[in-house]
Amino acid sequence: MTVHRILSTPRALLAAGLFFGVAAAQAATGFTVNPKQEALVTPGMSAAEVRMALGSPEQRIQYGNEPGPTFTYRVAAWPETLFDVDFGANGRVASVSERPDDRGGDN
């Protein structure tokens, strides 16, 4: 039993390392969401609540003519789609929308 336990430890460490590596890479590039997750975001939510529900956005943009930022997430769907969460001046979700991803999959 001891020999088997010692041999399985490197496998467990490798699996844990791969898991955390993939999680870190996903967090760094922004999360891909699905339509069920999109439905969790409702007007009035704070940016922190959106991040808790969906994770880090792929992009955070502050358009010059808008009162608050826009978080953009990639949607796991075909055709490639983006999900935008627009915030108002009060820092709360003002609107949500989907749009085609004209940038292609590598951007």
Q: From first to last of the 107 residues of the chain, give the pLDDT tens digit.
A: 555 555 566 665 555 554 444 444 444 456 789 989 999 999 999 999 999 999 999 999 999 999 999 999 999 878 889 999 999 999 999 999 999 998 765 54
Per-residue pLDDT, 4: 52
From residue 41, alpha-carbon distances to 57, 95, 105 in Å are 13, 9, 24
pLDDT at 21: 45
Tell me the whole-structure pTM to 2 decimals: 0.68
Which of 99, 42, 43, 93 lies closest to 66, judged by CA?
93
CA–CA gap between residue 21 and residue 2 (Å, rounded): 29
Predicted local distance difference test score (pLDDT) of residue 31 = 76
